[in-house]
Structure 1
Amino acid sequence: MSKFGFLVSFIVLLAAFSFPNSSSAYVKNGSKISHPKSAIYWVQGTFSNYGLRSEVVRGVTAWNPSSDIEFVKSTTVPGGADVKIEYVDKYSGDTYGVFRGSGNVTLYKKWRVELSSIDRKETAVHEVGHALGLAHTQKSNDSISVMRQYGFNHKDTPLSDDWSGLHSVY
């Protein structure tokens, strides 16, 4: 190989490692459930009082089409559940919901009172995504992810960037 050919190859190789890879736009948060193919979830009974249990359950089971995750049952007690979703009937600033670590998700009154049904479901999908190991996506990928930090896509399922991230975690 000539010196010129070597130099060109070196520059191409250097450029390949210097630019970010757009195929990994998702961001991981370090969380991971221990039994992804036989996961159990708990939804606090208070959601049923408001007729919103099915919207929360949609947020959990929306991840089941993945070959990496399967929520196989719900439980009536939080102990032993991989993902636990509780309701707090108070406002927490502009926050609809929050992932608190160890599979714990809290949805607030603002989620119940101010959001449409589709946006409540999207929020539940988003928060469960955190429990599964996904952080907020890069802003340039907001249209292909429910893991966006602000705003809504008005979708109640994980999107392409979310699936890529999930496959990377599991």
Structure 2
Amino acid sequence: MLIRAAVVDDAEALTDLHLDVWEEAYAGLMPDSIFVERRAQRAARIDRWRTNIETGPISSLVVEDDEPGRLLGFAGAGPARDDVPDLPRLELTALYVRAERYGTGLGHAMLQQAIGSAAAYLWVLDGNERATAFYERQGFRFDGETKTDPVGVELRMVRG
């Protein structure tokens, strides 16, 4: 396995990974119609990944599998998107691994490469106990802030 910066040529594999890991992580936490809608927008999602990788400001990492063209995980981090005083200026925008790799240390390795031990914050979907427990082990704590979007309620976690 190799953790490396995402490149534009990863856009299609990254899109497929993103679709897969959402279904694995959020099954039962959001309606299946959201997964169907996301898959129906695959071509647009590939274009969005290409643009995001080319223009930033989020830095994306991917994990290559030994199987060519297959990715095992991805992470994104960049400048805080929330303009809140006293909130860290670094946001972990994404951290996903395929379910087959849960518990292997891959998520921790990606987190270390994405943000190291820096002060940061993230949003986690309410009810995502696996992710919550992982982030708590990494020093993140809920700060009481929530936001509601089409996929559900998200809770903010902060590491100082």
TM-score (norm 2): 0.29
Q: Which has the larger radius of gyration?
A: 1
What TM-score do the two structures reach when normalised by structure 1? Answer: 0.28
